[in-house]
Amino acid sequence: MAISAVSDTTLREAPPPRRQRLLEDERWLAFVLLVPTIVLLGMFIAYPFMRGILLSVTSSRVGIPGDFVGLANFYKIFNDGIFRTAVYNTFLYTGVTTVFKLALGLWLAMLLNRNFRGKAFMRAFILLPFIIPTVLSTFAWKWMFDPTFSVLNWLLYHFGLITGRINWLGDPDLAMISIIIVNIWRGVPFFAISLLAGLQTISPELNEAAAIDGAKPWQRFWHITWPLLLPVTMVVMLFSVIQTFADFQIVYVMTGGGPANATHLFATYAYQIGVGTGLLSEGAAISLAMFPVLFLIVVLQLLYIRRVEVR
Amino acid sequence: MGQVVLKGINKFFDSVHAVKDVNLQIRDKEFMVFVGPSGCGKTTTLRMIAGLEAISSGDISIDGNVVNELAPMDRDIAMVFQNYALYPHMTVYDNMAFGLKMRKFEKPEIDKRVLEAAEILGIGELLQRRPRQLSGGQRQRVALGRAIVRHPRVFLFDEPLSNLDAKLRVQMRVELKKLHLRLGTTAIYVTHDQVEAMTLGDRVVVMKDGVVQQVGEPLELYNQPANKFVAGFIGSPAMNFAAVTVTEANGSLIAENSGLRIRLPDETAQRLRGHIGRELMLGVRPEDLTVAGSADLGHPCFDAVIEVVEQLGSEILLDMKVGESIMVASVEPTARVRVGDKLRVAMRPSRLHVFDAQTEAAI
């Protein structure tokens, strides 16, 4: 009992000041150490969140505090056709991009996990889409999808695949596909690098043992690599789904929600209503509408991760 | 059957020549041990036999069929890895059954084999556990079980005991030996521990810098080492070496350096006739040195000063200064010796080893 021995001697020499005794108590110390975090989270997350909830049940607009209206704003948006499109778009956008980001990211991670010349360089290079500010890279994509100056159209035309221009961002379906492509492009590096880190924690001996045990390459992937990578995969998916679900920048820059409100997501539509038209309370209601969905996704995935990690 | 033949095997890692022209015949049912210091190429050789490492040149055949191009799974081998390489997300049962499942065995047969192996290894109660819930020794057994259930032609062991504590290692060593006697499957075993090599191997391959130094039964390596490296590597405490010059005086050969001058026994002298005037390396094992008494009359003797006395209970190790060099003698536990004592030390003449100073080959 070295610790008690030390405090015994200090006691005998001189009783420590009260403040110091308080810090010796781990419950107090824990609280003191947590205070900065609590303050930060409270100020920048909890408070705005509560304000958002309060805002959503009023009729406030820019310059008008408004009155309490109960769930009227929610009632209104659920009967709003554009809101429904935005909900559908958000799910489609999140679902499709996540599947592609996972598949491409995993494929890339497996390639990068091999030994080849310039490995370190390639690994850094692959991160570029992730590092470049999204707005900047999205502007570049906007040019590539521009009806007149589109380099994609130019390529397709010169390969003889099309005869006329494709109006990428002018057609509702093509516009949706376009923003999905950009999101995948931007999100793959995060998946690739995270999964690569996960792959590197798997001992190569396991794959060798499986090879000797008679497992063919795809069996080794399915029975060894995939299950061992699953916890990392779920964490990466969790982050990605949350980010994609609440995505704003790509749509805002590429289409602004158009054409004819066909590509709105939760975030862009909330912005348009709340800030663009000044209906603050309605915008808040739209933002809050995605909360239950995100909450459910997070809870499910965290439960799953815990289950996987226990085994 | 399980006969493994290595013919002119070479391995290059880029410009590093890791394994140099290895030729070996491993007989059916034999327990063959590869031993050598780190980086001697023993593990690489094993991995080439397993098919985990490509061969740069040469042929490996199992039961007469060249397997150079065969994938590991098609070589009918099983391997036990140094870190066990158990699948962490599978139960002990599934770990052992995995290879059989991959080979599409029927469920009852898998069950039978896994339970049989678990019985042999005494891990019957652990079958539903996961590797992380097992101790080191238990993991080791599961790794062995995974190899056994397959009934392969050859077992490959890559330093399987090196992660166990000393006591468990000795225990598992004995069990491995019993297991081999029971199953009778050819085994190739890599270790850097010469005691493991001596106790387990039917024959032992000593390697150094990618070159096979000597192949032989354990006592053969011990009694007739082919060169100075083998002599120094096999045996604990290690053999004593002394650089000497050989001269002729009164018809007999004398080996001497600054600290000792001994008359070489006749049978050794016979072999050294052609080396008079040259520098040689004399080798003698600690247990072949004794405190000279009346029984040692006529044996080669020299003077020494005791520097350290190591009491081991069953014997005493004496670190002695002989001229400029240090020699170790293992003497009877009853010997009364103290640090600083001057001794007359006798060597058993028949156990004297002589090596060429340049090539280090035994003479």
Chain B neighbors of A228, CB-CB under 8 A: 88-89
pLDDT score at A15: 62
Here the tokens at position B362 are 């035994």
Q: Is-contact B153 B121, C-beta < 8 A?
A: no
The set of residues, in sequence order, having a beta carbon less than 8 Å from that of B242 and lying 6+ positions away, is: B257, B259, B260, B281, B282, B283, B322, B325, B327
Instruction: Provide the 3-class DSSP secondary structure of residue B192.
Output: coil
pLDDT score at A7: 47
Here the tokens at position B10 are 């070479």
Contact yes or no for B102 and A205 at CB 8 A: no
In this complex, the residue of A211, A219, A311 whose CB is nearest that of residue B72 is: A211
Distance spanning both ends of chain A, measured CA to CA: 36
Distance spanning both ends of chain B, measured CA to CA: 38
Chain B neighbors of A223, CB-CB under 8 A: 87, 98
Instruction: Provide the 3-class DSSP secondary structure of residue A145.
Output: coil
**For chain B, what is the radius of gyration of the CA atoms?**
25
Q: Which residue of B has its CA nearest to A218?
A: B102
Across A153-167, A253-267, A280-294, B139-153, least confident range: A153-167
**Most distant pair of Cα atoms in chain B: their distance:** 81
> pLDDT tens-digit profile of B95-121?
999 999 999 999 999 999 999 999 888
pLDDT tops 90 at residue B165: no
User: Which of B53, B62, B73 to mutate to probe the A interface, most A CBs <10 Å?
Assistant: B73
Q: Which residue of A has its CA nearest to B49?
A: A212
Per DSSP, B228 falls in state H
Contact yes or no for B81 and A211 at CB 8 A: no
Chain B neighbors of A224, CB-CB under 8 A: 87
Confidence of residue A10 (pLDDT cuts 50, 70, 90): very low
A213 interface with B at CB cutoff 8 Å = yes
Sign of CA dihedral A164, A169, A175, A177: positive
pLDDT tops 90 at residue A280: no
Q: Is-contact B52 B72, C-beta < 8 A?
A: yes
pLDDT tops 50 at residue A2: no
Confidence of residue B189 (pLDDT cuts 50, 70, 90): very high
A238 interface with B at CB cutoff 8 Å = no
- Measured from the Cβ of residue B235, the count of other Cβ atoms closer than 10 Å reads 18
Nearest to A93 by CA among A238, A259, A242, A244: A244
Q: What is the arithmetic mean of pLDDT over B181-208? A: 92
Chain B neighbors of A205, CB-CB under 8 A: 81, 83, 85
pLDDT tops 70 at residue B157: yes
The predicted complex's ipTM stands at: 0.83
Nearest to A183 by CA among A239, A254, A127: A254
> pLDDT tens-digit profile of B242-275?
888 888 887 788 888 887 888 888 888 888 878 8
pLDDT tops 80 at residue B172: yes
pLDDT tops 80 at residue A4: no
- The C-alpha atoms of residue A308 and residue A306 are separated, in whole angstroms, by 5
Contact yes or no for A211 and B102 at CB 8 A: no
For chain A, the residue count is 311
A211 interface with B at CB cutoff 8 Å = yes
Per DSSP, B238 falls in state P
Confidence of residue A14 (pLDDT cuts 50, 70, 90): low
pLDDT tops 80 at residue A251: yes
pLDDT tops 90 at residue A39: yes
In this complex, the residue of B79, B83, B99 whose CB is nearest that of residue A214 is: B99
pLDDT tops 90 at residue A303: no
Across A15-19, A169-173, A210-214, A251-255, least confident range: A15-19
Q: Give the distance from residue B37's alpha carbon to the nearest chain A alpha carbon, in angstroms.
A: 22
Q: Which residue of B has its CA nearest to A231?
A: B89
pLDDT score at B338: 87
A309 interface with B at CB cutoff 8 Å = no
pLDDT score at A155: 85
Mark out chain B residues that contact chain A at CB-CB < 8 A: 50-52, 71-73, 77-79, 81, 83, 85, 87-89, 98-99, 102-103, 130, 146, 150
A234 interface with B at CB cutoff 8 Å = no
pLDDT score at A33: 92
> pLDDT tens-digit profile of A54-86?
888 888 887 788 788 878 888 888 888 888 889
The set of residues, in sequence order, having a beta carbon less than 8 Å from that of A15 and lying 6+ positions away, is: none
Contact yes or no for A208 and B85 at CB 8 A: yes
Q: Is-contact B310 B317, C-beta < 8 A?
A: yes
Confidence of residue A311 (pLDDT cuts 50, 70, 90): low
Q: Which residue of B has its CA nearest to A205?
A: B85
- The C-alpha atoms of residue B63 and residue B24 are separated, in whole angstroms, by 13
Per DSSP, A225 falls in state I
Q: What is the arithmetic mean of pLDDT over A279-296? A: 87
pLDDT tops 50 at residue B129: yes
Confidence of residue A279 (pLDDT cuts 50, 70, 90): confident
- The C-alpha atoms of residue A246 and residue B113 are separated, in whole angstroms, by 54
pLDDT score at A47: 94
Confidence of residue A6 (pLDDT cuts 50, 70, 90): very low
Contact yes or no for B83 and A205 at CB 8 A: yes
The set of residues, in sequence order, having a beta carbon less than 8 Å from that of B277 and lying 6+ positions away, is: B245, B246, B247
A104 interface with B at CB cutoff 8 Å = no
pLDDT score at A170: 83
Mean of per-residue pLDDT scores for chain A: 85
- The C-alpha atoms of residue A303 and residue A298 are separated, in whole angstroms, by 8
Contact yes or no for B81 and A214 at CB 8 A: no
Contact yes or no for A208 and B150 at CB 8 A: no
pLDDT tops 50 at residue A3: no
Mean of per-residue pLDDT scores for chain B: 89
User: Which of A115, A117, A207, A213 to mutate to probe the B interface, most B CBs <10 Å?
Assistant: A213
Q: Is-contact B345 B304, C-beta < 8 A?
A: yes
Contact yes or no for A212 and B130 at CB 8 A: no
> pLDDT tens-digit profile of A235-247?
899 889 988 988 8
Q: Give the distance from residue B120's alpha carbon to the nearest chain A alpha carbon, in angstroms.
A: 20
Chain B neighbors of A206, CB-CB under 8 A: 85, 87
Q: What is the arithmetic mean of pLDDT over A247-266? A: 87
* pTM for this predicted structure: 0.79
